[in-house]
A and B are shown apart, each in its own frame.
Chain A
Amino acid sequence: MEKFEKLSGIAAPMPLVNIDTDMIIPKAFLKTIKRSGLGVNLFDEMRYERDGSEKPDFVLNQPQYRQASILVAGDNFGCGSSREHAPWALKDFGIQAIISTSFADIFFNNCFKNGILPIVLPQDQVDVLMKDAEKGANARIEIDLENQTITASDGESFSFEVDEFKKHCLLNGLDDIGLTMEKAASIDLFEAKSGAERPWV
């Protein structure tokens, strides 16, 4: 996995609440057996007409946001289906960080597995960053994972919380499975003990 240390990028505003993973990547694109190439279908039904032409009003179709690498989103972003195709599509489009007041649990975890940083901030701070994002391409937001800070284009800075282990994995681009396999002895031990206690499992 790619390392995530610092990010300076254009943020796109998506104030709608409850943006679900069906919106992020509709089911028609779940039939792939690959992880790549989903960016073109990110937010497909919001982004394109049925004939494939772009809906000019949609935020990521506007010239100033085509290069966005950050989303500032409404509450409960990523709710619904567990499909990891959602972060795959976001990542493939170029989104590396998402800021909201809350995220759905499974989506939140899926982001970290794909080098995307989801950041939870209080409503008033999200409001400031939403306004900043609405300024368009001139307003670059900076994210520093090591120091856990976000800086808006006018210099206003907020700190954010992130799980220590998840931060460590993102900063170093670590693969979870490799890390867990280093603890194989603990798993063996647990299996032996629980197998004796609960042989029916």
Chain B
Amino acid sequence: MSPKTLYDKIWDAHVAHESDDGTCLLYIDRHLVHEVTSPQAFEGLRMAGRKVRAPEKTIAVPDHNVPTTLERLDGIIENEEGRIQVEALDKNAREFGLHYYPMNDVRQGIVHIVGPEQGWTLPGMTVVCGDSHTATHGAFGALAHGIGTSEVEHVLATQTLIQKKSKNMKVEITGKLRPGVTAKDITLAVIGETGTAGGTGYVIEYCGEAIRDLSMEGRMTVCNMAIEGGARAGLIAPDQKTFDYVQGRPHAPKGGQWETALEWWKTLYSDDDAHWDKIVTLKGEEIEPVVTWGTSPEDVLPISAKVPAPSDFEGGKIDAAARSLDYMGLEPGTPLSEIKIDAVFVGSCTNGRIEDFREVAKILKGRKVADGVRMMIVPGSGLVRAQAEEEGLAEIFEEAGAEWRLPGCSMCLAMNPDQLAEHERCASTSNRNFEGRQGYKGRTHLVSPGMAAAAAVTGKLTDVRELV
């Protein structure tokens, strides 16, 4: 048998039909659904008189525009349009018989945090969701990617997607990370290297010692931003850490099925002589804590660097950089570590897991959020929230003067009231620094959780290593 990559193996195990031109029907093992990209899909089903083919493989949870303030516990969503979307999801989940975690269920949270937490996401699976950050689930060695609403409807009706295979790209991070450098720095550094279109047409497999050393939480952070590099999906081969994380979760296999599953999962790795269409290698020890300075996730620099000038770039990027600097209100040559911030956001499907909050608590313990800075900390799920409270992290946050909120996507995309004001500058653990992403004319600097906490304490972008 010819050698295969991990992607090849998962792909081959899910082709339900292949046409002569190579167009395939890829079978989907898990379909995750949220309130923003699904209403039109369910409406389409109704209009055509179609059913959900596999409701037992379909999991729904509202996350994008749920409020994260405490009044939500009374079932209140002030924004009428947001409320209508959440109610539509309630109704659709009930009528079509899906697994559902309603807004005030303790298991509710960001769809990409709930899936792994509940054991829905398992190695070797195909996972899709009407959300680009579905790439997160690739951390388990699952082929996971975002789809549009028409494709959501297609998966609901047929449990398959019409797909052509992507190319294989290997991103290897060799060696060890230095202290203070995290999974977020890895994933941003990779995008800085490849650009936001560098992965277009590929599925990335992340490998190397620095990746193996990461926890499952860290691996999810890395895969989460594969889409920011343009890739269809990011993957990490499952290993003992993966199996340990999965075992015992509510929807993970049990007993004899666990043993059968494990046997297969252990075959899920890229063969030594597998073919790669593109290879990128970064040395782990050379990665520094990074921040973004512009309005594209590829605008990445180490915190020790200075704001670049448009003339540092080539081609279409010259105008784009000039536009970014204008939008961000930054002068070329300014040290990044001198940029003052107004707000800090910790959360999102990129960095909304327990490990992220532990990192933040380490920096905030015994310190205060700087005067004039507001810090919002939003757990990725109700269970993460409960655990952070049990570990005493929430207390540290509140003592430091940060807001500790209910779970949801919150200010990552600011569909709910959690938004930046015009020209407010934010150190954010989320995944996109696009214009207007966190609020109209809001300015976003993407950072790791530790870097976000350090910025909160000093009131400016700061090298976290100065505070540990």
Contacts and interface: CB of A to CB of B under 8 A. Distances in A.
Q: Do A and B come from one complex?
A: yes
Interface in B230-256: 230-232, 252-253
B160 A180 contact: yes
A149 interface: no
Interface in A151-166: 163-165
B122 interface: yes
Interface residues of B, number: 81
A199 B27 contact: no
A95 B333 CA distance: 40
Contacts, number: 190
A67 interface: no
A187 B316 contact: no
A79 B197 contact: yes
Contacts of B153: 177
Interface residues of A, number: 55
B158 interface: yes
B29 A201 contact: yes
Contacts of A113: 148, 150-151
Contacts of B413: 27, 81
B433 to A, nearest CB: 10
Given A50-B440, A80-B434, A165 B148 contact: no
Interface string B207-246: 0000000000000000000010011100000000000000
Instruction: Describe A's contact surface by its main secondary structure.
Output: loop
Contacts of A198: 124, 261, 264
A194 B154 contact: no
Interface in B242-280: 252-253, 257-258, 260-261, 264
A18 interface: yes
Interface stretch (B104-112, B317-325, B452-460): B317-325
Nearest to B298: A18
Interface in B287-340: 296, 298, 315-317, 319-320, 323
Contacts of B57: 201
A126 B372 CA distance: 48
Given A104-B230, A176-B162, A194-B13, A183 B25 contact: yes
Interface string A158-188: 0000011100000000001100110110110
B25 A186 contact: yes
Interface stretch (A5-13, A28-36, A51-59, A134-142): A28-36
Nearest to A181: B158
B192 interface: no
B200 A105 contact: yes
A22 B323 contact: no
Contacts of B36: 30-31, 83
A136 B40 CA distance: 36
B415 A32 contact: no
B147 A163 contact: no
B320 A18 contact: yes
A17 B440 contact: no
A13 B320 CA distance: 15
A103 B154 CA distance: 22
Nearest to B439: A27
Contacts of B27: 187, 190-191, 194
Contact of B16 (A17, A18, A186): A186
B25 A33 contact: no
A110 interface: yes
B126 to A, nearest CB: 9
Given A31-B81, A82-B132, A165-B21, A200 B43 contact: no
Contact of B25 (A17, A79, A87, A180): A180
Contact of A105 (B201, B258, B315, B316): B201
Interface in B37-80: 37, 39-40, 43, 48, 50, 53, 57, 64-65, 79
A84 interface: yes
A74 B272 CA distance: 38
Interface of A: 15-18, 20, 22-23, 26-27, 30-35, 45, 50, 74-76, 79-84, 87, 102-106, 109-110, 113-114, 163-165, 176-177, 180-181, 183-184, 186-187, 189-191, 194, 198-201
Given A17-B319, A180-B162, 19 more contacts: A15-B316, A18-B197, A20-B432, A23-B434, A31-B82, A31-B85, A76-B196, A81-B432, A84-B148, A105-B200, A109-B151, A164-B21, A165-B162, A176-B150, A177-B50, A177-B153, A177-B158, A199-B260, A201-B125
6 contacts: A20-B296, A27-B437, A31-B65, A74-B320, A110-B148, A187-B159
